[in-house]
């Protein structure tokens, strides 16, 4: 089975990486594709260019075997709809089970995703949850797809919904951006190589820090 882990990754952090590793092992994935979006369809456009977000993902996953940083959404015009991404993966892997992994926050907004019901034509959906997390009432369309056993996902290539408990790390890219803009150190929230990249490219600075840097460099 192949896993798909999409996101803005602005920047990638240990919340993403730890859950990615856990699901890769738990689902015995032959590959986990990390797919940064170019133009997120459901949120404000990130201030950091997609190529830079991709470069940070590459640094973060450089020594992780079975992780693959996939640039397909960067090379596609228009909004980065996950349903289009899954359609291209299905074409490439017609016989393989595909699993799309999303966090609880993303799952809460699933019904706003472009053609969200069609996601299940191409892949299973696994929601990465916290232990004892209450599941809100699911629409019938989703209820009918829930499976209780992880191994059931091996029996078909797509179409099921599963909730997987993962280690909850309370880290978000928003917190990291806020810390950096406040001049604080984000160490231990994301890989050192990514922090070095952020410093080198002066990302996420507040407008005052930004103009100070530009003055110092001029
Ligand atoms: P932001 O703070 O900018 O909204 P984010 O940290 O939530 O960013 P995204 O790139 O938007 O990161 O998230 C990509 C995917 O990773 C989503 O499915 C999201 O639910 C999941 N995710 C993000 N942070 C965590 C975390 N700490 N633990 C588990 N999953 C996470």
| DSSP strand pairing (124-129 vs 31-36) | unpaired
How far away, in angstroms, is 144 Cα from ligand 1 center?
Answer: 26
Please work out whether the CB of residue 8 comes within 6 Å of at least one atom of ligand 1: yes
Question: Measuring CA to CA, how many Å separate 168 from each of 128, 130, 188?
Answer: 9, 6, 15
Is residue 147 within 8 Å of 161, Cβ to Cβ?
A: yes
* C-alpha span between 90 and 16 (Å, rounded): 24
Please work out whether the CB of residue 110 comes within 6 Å of at least one atom of ligand 1: no
Please work out whether the CB of residue 82 comes within 6 Å of at least one atom of ligand 1: no
141 shares a domain with 66? yes
Domains identified in the chain, total number: 2
60 shares a domain with 143? yes
How far away, in angstroms, is 216 Cα from ligand 1 center?
Answer: 34
How far away, in angstroms, is 154 Cα from ligand 1 center?
Answer: 26
Please work out whether the CB of residue 103 comes within 6 Å of at least one atom of ligand 1: yes
CB atoms within 10 A of CB 104: 16
179 shares a domain with 147? no
Which two three-digit tokens encode residue 217? 């460099």
Q: What is the pLDDT of residues 151-188, one digit of tens each?
A: 999 999 999 999 999 998 999 999 999 999 999 999 99
The 10 Å CB-count burial string (b at 16+, else e) for 105-122 is ebbeebeebeebeebbeb
Sheet containing strand 67-69, strands side by side: 67-69, 31-36, 2-7, 98-103, 124-129, 161-165
How far away, in angstroms, is 36 Cα from ligand 1 center?
Answer: 12
Domain that holds residue 149: 2-165
* CATH number of the domain encompassing residue 128: 3.40.50.620
pLDDT band at 214 (very low <50, low <70, confident <90, very high): low
* Residue 136: pLDDT over 90: no
How far away, in angstroms, is 104 Cα from ligand 1 center?
Answer: 9
> Which domain-ending residue is among 129, 144, 165?
165
Q: What is the pLDDT of residues 178-213, one digit of tens each?
A: 999 999 999 999 999 999 999 999 999 987 777 666
180 shares a domain with 139? no
Rounded to two decimals, the pTM is 0.93
Q: What is the pLDDT of residues 13-56, one digit of tens each?
A: 999 999 999 999 999 999 999 999 987 776 667 789 999 999 99
């Amino acid at each position: 089975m192949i896993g798909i882990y999409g996101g803005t990754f602005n920047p990638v952090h240990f919340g993403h990486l730890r859950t990615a590793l856990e699901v890769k092992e738990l689902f015995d994935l032959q590959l986990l594709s990390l797919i940064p979006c170019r133009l997120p369809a459901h949120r404000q456009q990130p201030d950091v260019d997609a190529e830079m977000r991709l470069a940070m993902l590459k640094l973060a996953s450089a020594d992780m075997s079975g992780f693959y940083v996939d640039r397909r959404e960067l090379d596609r015009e228009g909004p980065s709809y996950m349903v289009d991404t899954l359609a291209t993966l299905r074409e490439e892997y017609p016989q393989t089970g595909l699993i799309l992994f999303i966090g609880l926050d993303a799952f809460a907004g699933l019904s706003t995703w472009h053609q969200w019901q069609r996601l299940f034509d191409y892949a299973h959906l696994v929601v990465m949850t916290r232990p004892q997390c209450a599941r809100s009432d699911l629409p019938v369309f989703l209820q009918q797809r829930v499976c209780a056993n992880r191994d059931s996902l091996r029996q078909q290539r797509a179409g099921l919904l599963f909730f997987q408990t993962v280690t909850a790390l309370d880290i978000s890219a928003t917190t990291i951006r806020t810390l950096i803009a406040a001049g604080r150190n984000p160490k231990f929230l994301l890989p050192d190589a990514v922090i070095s990249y952020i410093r080198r490219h002066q990302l996420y600075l507040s407008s005052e820090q930004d103009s100070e840097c530009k003055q110092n460099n001029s």
